Amino acid sequence: MVLDVWFTEKHEDKQGISLKVKEILYNGESEFQKIDIIDTEAYGRVLLLDGLVMTTEKDEFFYHEMISHVPLLAHPCPEKVLIIGGGDGGTIREVLKHPSVKEVTLCEIDKAVIDVSREYLPSIACCIDDSRVKIHIEDAVEHIKRKKNSFDAVLIDSTDPLGPGVGLFTEEFYANVRESLRGNGVMAAQTESPVTCQKEFKLINSLLNKVFSVVKPYFAPVPTYPGGNWSWTFCSKGLQPEINNESLAIEIEKTSKYYNREIYKAVFAVPNYVKNMMD
């Protein structure tokens, strides 16, 4: 008998995304959250945390390329990068495409996410064990307090503002991130969907504007995320989000699936509905 099994992620009981499941590869629970890996017909292997889609083999590149290359290409020479969250390893993989990077610190609260990704998502987690990567299993809220003037870039690759990720969406946390940046330091954070999470998007950007001199939201599709359109926000003490190294941008473009130099310029164009929402 052929089973017709579907996974459905519901958003506020108003809408959702459904994926036909071929096989459940992993089902477990850490001290922080429920973790599942399912193999789907449409998007390959999918990482679920507490029943929510975090990443998929088919569309992960949209997210990981945007959170990494947009801020790093604006920096003249990023050497030390902190990734907060990101236990699946996709952001690490993209960051290490920048030859100036000498050290990547991964601060992930849940070791189980790293272990499961290593085993079941090798195409995404392929660079977690690179010698330049230092892993800290720790709450980033506490970790960042000890890091003053330490990083050229901080990438907040967090879950939604609930559960173990809720502390990463406060003015105090963003102020500590700012203090952790060197002079030309840049930050990029995932800032939710401007379509389905308008309240959260507005709140996060209002907090960032209290802390940073430069705050620029940018947008790209992530098909399996609520609303299909996602946002990140670029922040700095003064550096603008413009490509600093054209030759490197060209090289990275050759290996990317979504990012290119034209996309870089386009993602900062703010749609009218977002402008009206933020007025």
218 vs 126: CA distance, rounded Å: 27
124 vs 36: CA distance, rounded Å: 16
Side-chain-side CA neighbours of 265 within 13 Å: the count stands at 3
Q: Is there a contact between 164 and 137 (Cβ–Cβ < 8 Å)?
A: no
Task: Give the number of other CB atoms < 10 A from CB of residue 232.
Answer: 23
Angstrom distances, CA of residue 167 to CA of 106, 156, 173, 245:
17, 12, 7, 34
157 part of the active site? yes
Buried b (16+ CB within 10 A) or exposed e, 178-204: bebbbebbbbbbbbbbbbbbbebbbeb
Q: Is there a contact between 22 and 42 (Cβ–Cβ < 8 Å)?
A: no
Q: Is there a contact between 230 and 193 (Cβ–Cβ < 8 Å)?
A: yes
Alpha helices in 49-121 (DSSP H): 60-74, 90-95, 111-120
256 vs 250: CA distance, rounded Å: 10
Instruction: Write down the catalytic residue from 59, 88, 110, 157.
Output: 157
Annotated catalytic residues are 157
